Structure 1
Amino acid sequence: MKAGTAVKERDTEQEAQQYKVFPILFAMLLSGFIGLFGETALNVALTPLMGLLQVGPTTIQWLTTGYLLVLGVLVPVSGLLLQWFTTRQLFTASLIFSIAGTLVAAMAPSFEILLVARVLQAVGTALLLPLMFNTILVIFPIEKRGAAMGLIGLVIMFAPASGPSIAGLILANFSWHWIFWISLPFFLISLVSGLMFLPNISKLTKPKIDVLSIILSTLGFGGIVYGFSSAGGHGESGGGWSSPVVIATLVVGAVSLLLFSIRQLRMKEAMMDLRAFRYPMFTIGLILIFIAMMMLLSSMLILPMYMQQGMAVSALTAGLVLLPGSLLNGFLSPVMGRLFDKFGPKWLVIIGLVIVAAALYMYTGINPGTSLGMIITLHIVMMIGISMIMMPAQTNGLNQLPPEYYPHGTAIMNTLQQVSGAIGTAVAVSILAAGQSSYLKGVTNPDSPEQKLAGFTSGVQNAFMFAMVLCLLGLAISFFVKRVKVGKHATKHVGH
């Protein structure tokens, strides 16, 4: 038996060396970039779209909420899909959904058709993200994974961040349909590249499909994402925490998640194997990513909102102010990957959290007189810090998992990233609103524009204070980070 295992391992290593790594990465990263770009590109267009499609703010918000909801529901099932379908099948299906959604959106005459297109796009992105992580884990040896994960980091951080800026430029010169027409050829190039060079790299175990697990996962993650998205919706579209729909979906979501977790731990072949949490670095990495995503996405919502409403700058200017930091973050991600391969995660993560905490502390003093130069500088500093946290925490965590846990680990990590985005933005908007109303209660003339602006400023400062507290919590946790030792034996004993 041992001799057979050794031969198998040697064959696997030889296969790993034969992968055409560059074209595989190109196909995955290009389609991932365009998919994630589409996630945020439409945000800038929501206000003009309300007039063009003749719908209200509550309805238009579904273009974002619907997209997040599909990701929240489908990404948890991805661990199962990775074990049932080949790499090529999943990649092709993902690109077909993305291309179909983009084409329908580019020609959409009405809100309903555009919403269907967004759902198709989200299915494509939900299939692609876990597949991308899983492929990297299989085709790269552990000592080179940092640099490869850094490239994924470039895509995951830079694509959504560049969406509003690029879309702002498109909207200044063309109709909103061009956001999708411009994306289409890139998806087609990715599909051709994938069909030419992508081999089947995952091992198919075809575990039993447990329908109850899928239902509980859908209700659980769907309920949480929808509940938080509705509670923290923009302006009038926010359902608020007291809304019966928000309370009901959050309760259903929480109860379903609890039942889902209990069921997964009791099953012999779990849909999403939560035993991955027995590996301490995976769990710590997950918590740090959760915190980093909450800080990032809440500030990406609050900053443009304040610049447009509090400082009276255009949507395009607000997008461009955030572009240098987002660009730098994307380009630094592979650099951090190489530093991680060389020095390990601990000090990168600790220094990153200190840098982010300092930037957020400065943001707590933001006011209408703050210069755009200052906001750009602080955003650049913050994004440098985020790049030092995300990739090292992610790679170190996944490195500790044995190969049979890769599909489950990537599914858990991608799911929590979607959930953290919904929670982070909802809580930030709620803190902003609460701070605004408590300020206005204490003034004699709450209806005057000066006091309204001061109240809004106070709410925004409170939202940044919340992000800073989160960051300090992450800093305390980061001292427990340890580098995962390279070598098969290193992961075997943990958690058994």
Structure 2
Amino acid sequence: MEKAKINLLPAVLAAGIMSFSGVLIETAMNVTFPTLISEFSISTSTVQWVTTIYLLVISIMVPFSNYLIKNFSIRKLFVIANLFFIVGLITDFISPTFLILLFGRLLQGIGTGIALPLMFHIILTFTPLEKRGSMMGVGTLTTSIAPAIGPTYGGLLTSIISWHYIFLFLIPVLLLSLIMGLYAIPEIKVQKSSSLDLFSLVGIGLLFSGLLVFLNQMGTLKSLIPLLVGAIGLIIFLQRTSKAQQPLVRIDVLKNKAFDLFLCGFLVCQFLLLGISFVLPNFVQIVLGDNAFIAGLVMLPGAAIGAILAPISGRVLDKHGAKRPILIGLTLAAIGWLALTILLNQPSLLGLVAGHVFYMLGIGFSYSNMMTSGMNLLTPEEYGDGNTFFNTLQQFSGAVATAIVASVINSFQQRNPDYLKGTTLGSQVALLILFVLLILIILACVRHFWRTKNS
């Protein structure tokens, strides 16, 4: 590998800008959901597909990208990803119907699904081990800073002009990414090292699609059909992985229990991030009666703090190890999350902002360090597979969290004659479900670090 030719920081930032744009739209569109529900005459459980379809496509594309990275130059993949994203932005800007809006989100998912693993591949391949925590923090910063401005950006444009302009104003940002990437990423020849296991890719597609549709229709008899489709997809994927000479993803990395722990911790953090980005903006608009811009502003301080802490926490890990930032971060996140759940009973904008800020302090210290700690346990030959597991399941878990939260809230809204009370109760129940997952991860991490210390 010709490591000297790449301009590392601008290369990481160029790929990161695409991931940033994807998360920005994702969080910006969350505050438009009440507007979309009214404009397209759809339900809460239907509108969440604006986020879910995007995350679903990324979940399928990331394993495919593991194959692409092994067989095509990173420069070619970067350009292709960028062009897909730009076409998706144009499609959504002019979209007159909900289905066309979803198609544009699908194209953006293809772009991000290539760009996200590409960014971490560049970091893992070209960054020295002793600086990896800091550079992973920079990579995470590009995606974690998006929630800091996404809701405000989306709320402002929706309130003043139209939600369509959320997509238009990002086209210059993607063009900047394209120019930066063409400068920083050289054409490095790649010796094809694998063939595409198409059956594994089909299995992953059936698995993720089936599970997400099942979660969307959960509680109904017809939900059993997509659940069966998901089960068939899982069987196909596992059989191909065990029998294929060059599987799409090697699951041997999951035999490392410490890697599994950090992977699960990372996914729980993603659950929380996507769950709260759905709950809070909709709660502020539906229950408190504020507009989309105010709903976005509520998210701004906490998300900004989480983004700022990402590279700082990486340096703490490089200097002091994983134990301090991860355990302190998860504890702070749990306190802030519980406070948010309680505050929904007697909500005030200031209280919700304070609870979210406290929670994001914890996420800032733990989120990216979970991925860094997990990847550091692997050999260079396993980086591609580990990277695939982190990035695929990150997106899928985000889609699952959004689907679960939307389904829970929608269920309480329909069953309660008072729509506002139903929204409040549904929001609290959704947050409590995610809180239980957070507590389980905290206990598992404490157990791991205690055993490591005494081994």
TM-score, normalised with respect to structure 2? 0.91
Asked which structure has the greater CA Rg, the reply is 1
Alignment of 1:92-103 (within 5 A): 92-103=79-90
Deviation at 1:96, TM superposition (A): 0.8
Residue aligning to 1:56: 42
**Is the Cα contact below 8 Å between 1:161 and 1:326 reproduced in 2?**
yes
Residue aligning to 2:220: 242
Question: Does 2:437 align with 1:479?
Answer: no
Match of 2:288 among 311, 314, 324: 311
The structure-2 alpha-carbon separation of the partners of 1:460 and 1:119, relative to structure 1 and needing over 3 Å to count, comes to: closer
Amino acid at match of 1:196: Y
Match of 1:115 among 102, 112, 115: 102
The structure-2 alpha-carbon separation of the partners of 1:140 and 1:113, relative to structure 1 and needing over 3 Å to count, comes to: same
Match of 2:201 among 214, 226, 236: 214
Q: List per-residue Cα deviations over 1:427-472 (Å, max 9, x = no partner).
A: 334444666788x5xxxxxx4x5xx544543333322222221111
Write the distance in 2 (CA, Å) between the matches of 1:307 and 1:180.
24
Deviation at 1:133, TM superposition (A): 0.8
Residue aligning to 1:271: 248
Match of 1:77 among 64, 81, 87: 64
The structure-2 alpha-carbon separation of the partners of 1:25 and 1:174, relative to structure 1 and needing over 3 Å to count, comes to: same
Question: Does 2:270 align with 1:293?
Answer: yes
Deviation at 1:94, TM superposition (A): 0.2
Amino acid at match of 1:291: V
Match of 1:223 among 189, 195, 210: 210
Write the distance in 1 (CA, Å) between the matches of 2:101 and 2:430.
32
Question: Does 2:229 align with 1:252?
Answer: yes
Residue aligning to 2:177: 190
Residue aligning to 1:466: 433
Question: Does 2:348 align with 1:371?
Answer: yes
Deviation at 1:22, TM superposition (A): 2.6
Write the distance in 2 (CA, Å) between the matches of 1:66 and 1:131.
21
Which is worse superposed, 282-291 or 423-432?
Answer: 423-432
Write the distance in 2 (CA, Å) between the matches of 1:124 and 1:181.
16
Which is worse superposed, 149-158 or 320-329?
Answer: 149-158
Match of 2:134 among 147, 150, 164: 147
Question: Does 2:378 align with 1:381?
Answer: no
**Is the Cα contact below 8 Å between 1:87 and 1:202 reproduced in 2?**
no
* Two-structure CA RMSD over aligned residues (Å): 2.5
5+ residue gaps, structure 1, are 1-11, 231-238, 441-446, 486-496
**Is the Cα contact below 8 Å between 1:349 and 1:388 reproduced in 2?**
yes
Write the distance in 1 (CA, Å) between the matches of 2:110 and 2:75.
16
The structure-2 alpha-carbon separation of the partners of 1:274 and 1:310, relative to structure 1 and needing over 3 Å to count, comes to: same
Question: Does 2:161 align with 1:174?
Answer: yes
Write the distance in 1 (CA, Å) between the matches of 2:380 and 2:359.
34
Q: List per-residue Cα deviations over 1:103-151 (Å, max 9, x = no partner).
A: 2322334444433322211111111111111111011011101111111
Deviation at 1:77, TM superposition (A): 1.6
Deviation at 1:196, TM superposition (A): 1.9
Match of 1:350 among 308, 316, 327: 327
Amino acid at match of 1:199: P
Residue aligning to 1:8: none
Q: Percent identity?
A: 34
Other structure's SS at 1:176 match = coil
Deviation at 1:475, TM superposition (A): 0.5
Q: List per-residue Cα deviations over 1:303-339 (Å, max 9, x = no partner).
A: 2222222222222211111110001111110000111
Residue aligning to 1:9: none
Write the distance in 2 (CA, Å) between the matches of 1:212 and 1:44.
38
Q: List per-residue Cα deviations over 1:18-77 (Å, max 9, x = no partner).
A: 53223212312222211321233233334434555x553376554333322322222222
What is the total number of aligned residue pairs between the two structures?
A: 450
Residue aligning to 1:302: 279
Which is worse superposed, 84-93 or 251-260?
Answer: 251-260
The structure-2 alpha-carbon separation of the partners of 1:177 and 1:305, relative to structure 1 and needing over 3 Å to count, comes to: closer
Amino acid at match of 1:376: V
Other structure's SS at 1:365 match = helix
Deviation at 1:210, TM superposition (A): 2.0
Which is worse superposed, 34-43 or 468-477?
Answer: 34-43
Other structure's SS at 1:479 match = helix
**Is the Cα contact below 8 Å between 2:151 and 2:299 reproduced in 1?**
no
The structure-2 alpha-carbon separation of the partners of 1:202 and 1:161, relative to structure 1 and needing over 3 Å to count, comes to: farther
Q: List per-residue Cα deviations over 1:88-108 (Å, max 9, x = no partner).
A: 111011001011111232233
Amino acid at match of 1:266: K
Amino acid at match of 2:446: F
Other structure's SS at 2:247 match = coil
Residue aligning to 2:385: 408
5+ residue gaps, structure 2, are none
Amino acid at match of 1:391: S
The structure-2 alpha-carbon separation of the partners of 1:73 and 1:21, relative to structure 1 and needing over 3 Å to count, comes to: closer
The structure-2 alpha-carbon separation of the partners of 1:155 and 1:247, relative to structure 1 and needing over 3 Å to count, comes to: farther
